[in-house]
């Protein structure tokens, strides 16, 4: 009789535990790992606009990228200031470079992200 009672209690505990475990719901989730190529942009149609009063200053630079971008910045002097650019239409960008002198300008460095 004791054995039957012990088995019955064990079954009740086991069924209760299974009932609680069965009530848990975990939603589907996604996880993964992958790789993709990082390729550069081709910059064309570069145009510099000099200051109307002082042509020793570059007021802006504009250009076209070969693909869409979300954020674009330029630098005209190695180690100098980075300037924000604005998308004017399609893949054409314009960057205000007010304060950049012509004489130390030694590069057109374009950084663009998709």
Give the 3-state secondary structure of residue 101: strand
Report the predicted TM-score, pTM, of the whole model to 2 decimal places: 0.69
The structural domains of the chain, with segments of one domain joined by +, span: 43-113
Question: Coil, helix or strand for 29?
Answer: coil
pLDDT for residue 109: 96
Q: What is the pLDDT of residue 95?
A: 98
Per-residue pLDDT for the chain (114 aa), expressed as one digit of tens each? 666 566 565 666 665 555 555 566 788 888 888 888 888 999 999 999 999 999 999 999 999 999 999 999 999 999 999 999 999 999 999 999 999 999 999 999 999 998
- Please tell me the distance from the alpha carbon of residue 22 to that of residue 101, in angstroms, as a whole number: 72
Main-chain phi, psi angles of 23, to 5 degrees = -85, -10
CATH architecture classification, 43-113 = Sandwich (2.60)
The Cα 39–Cα 112 span in angstroms is: 11
Closest to 114 (Cα-Cα) out of 80, 97, 82, 91 = 91
Per-residue pLDDT at 8: 60
């Amino acid at each position: 009789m004791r054995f039957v009672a012990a088995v019955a209690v064990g079954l009740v505990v086991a069924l209760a535990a299974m009932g609680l475990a069965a009530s848990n719901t975990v939603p589907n989730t996604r996880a993964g790992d992958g790789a993709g190529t990082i390729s550069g942009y081709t910059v064309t149609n570069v145009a510099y606009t000099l200051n109307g009063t002082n042509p020793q200053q570059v007021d802006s630079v504009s250009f076209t990228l070969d693909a869409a971008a979300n954020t674009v910045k330029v630098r005209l002097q190695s180690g100098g200031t980075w300037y924000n650019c604005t998308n004017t239409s399609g893949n054409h960008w314009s960057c205000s470079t007010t304060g950049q002198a012509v004489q130390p300008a030694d590069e057109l460095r374009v950084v663009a992200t998709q």
